[in-house]
């Protein structure tokens, strides 16, 4: 039964291949990526359609289907897996953290997978169970660039709402001198979102650290600030 769902889902993805989308997909990535080449609006529709079929099943069985999709390494299948996991957010329980962490470590190999998993599934989990914040501080010290990026981008949506400012600064402190551009962009993005509700605090943080902060992170962090503050922050 479960195999039939994935077989039909994959057949729809194959039938939905758009040559222009397929040919342009890799332009946004420096690493080797695997995509069918299906427009994101159609991928979303397919995700919703098949979730309606499976949503009454046991959460563990749905997570198993998600993992099966992730094993294929296709970007579209990863998106569907993470959408399905996010759709179960009302059923999250503490032990689910280790499932999501396993997906991050085993299957996330580009920024798109990282951000889709972290912004929604993991971000929602941390809001429900903030005691797992400590795990993010550990991720920020990982040897895996995507796990380090995940430590920051998991807090993007809560930060946009003004939550977890001290924790955002703690993660930025750990990642401050990171040499990886995807990690620099990740924590810069976190600071930018935090600045929506806490502009003065984020500006002070940037000014305090701008002598050592990579320019990539700095530019991201101040993007939403008024021109005068941006100019001040960019002064050498």
pLDDT tens by residue, 127-181: 999 999 999 999 999 999 999 999 999 999 999 999 999 999 999 999 999 999 9
- Nearest Cα to 121, choosing from 73, 59, 167? 59
What is the model's pLDDT at position 2? 66
- Nearest Cα to 93, choosing from 116, 138, 118, 60? 60
Rounded to whole angstroms, the Cα distance separating 153 from 117 reads 9
Q: How far is CA 27 from the centre of its chain?
A: 19
Give the pTM: 0.94
Residue 111 structure tokens:
């920024």
3-class SS letters over 49-89: HHHHHHCCCCHHHHHHHHHHHHHCCCHHHHHHHHHHHHHCH
With H, G, I as helix, E, B as strand and everything else as coil, classify residue 17: strand
What is the model's pLDDT at position 1? 55
What is the model's pLDDT at position 66? 97
Rounded to whole angstroms, the Cα distance separating 123 from 132 reads 11
Q: What angle do CA 81, 86, 90 make, to 5 degrees?
A: 140
What is the model's pLDDT at position 24? 85
What is the model's pLDDT at position 31? 87
Question: Would you write out the chain's pLDDT as a tens digit for each of its 236 residues?
Answer: 566 999 999 999 999 999 898 888 878 888 889 999 999 999 999 999 999 999 999 999 999 999 999 999 999 999 999 999 999 999 999 999 999 999 999 999 999 999 999 999 999 999 999 999 999 999 999 999 999 999 999 999 999 999 999 999 999 999 999 999 999 999 999 999 999 999 999 999 999 999 999 999 999 999 999 999 999 999 97
What is the model's pLDDT at position 3? 66
Strand partners, 17: 38
Q: Quickly tell me which residue has 């099966």 as its tokens.
A: 68
């Amino acid at each position: 039964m479960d195999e039939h769902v994935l077989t039909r889902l994959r057949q729809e993805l194959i039938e939905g291949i758009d040559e222009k989308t397929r040919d342009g997909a890799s332009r946004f990535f420096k690493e080797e990526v695997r995509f069918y080449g299906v427009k994101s609006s159609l991928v979303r529709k397919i995700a919703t359609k098949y979730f309606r079929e499976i949503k009454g099943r046991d959460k563990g069985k749905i997570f198993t289907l998600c993992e099966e999709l992730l094993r294929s390494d296709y970007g579209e299948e990863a998106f569907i897996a993470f959408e399905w996991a996010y759709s179960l957010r009302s059923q999250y329980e503490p032990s689910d953290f280790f499932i999501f962490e396993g997906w991050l470590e085993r299957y996330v190999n580009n920024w798109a997978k990282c951000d889709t998993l972290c912004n929604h599934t993991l971000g929602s989990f941390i809001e429900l169970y903030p005691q797992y914040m400590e795990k993010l501080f550990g991720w920020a010290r990982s040897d895996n660039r995507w796990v380090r990026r995940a430590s920051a981008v998991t807090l993007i949506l809560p930060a946009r709402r003004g939550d977890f400012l001290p924790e955002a600064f703690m993660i930025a402190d750990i990642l401050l001198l990171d040499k990886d551009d995807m990690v620099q962009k990740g924590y810069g993005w976190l600071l930018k979102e935090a600045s929506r509700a806490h502009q003065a605090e984020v500006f002070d943080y940037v000014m305090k650290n701008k002598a050592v902060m990579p320019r990539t992170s700095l530019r991201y962090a101040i993007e939403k600030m008024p021109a005068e503050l941006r100019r001040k922050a960019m002064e050498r």
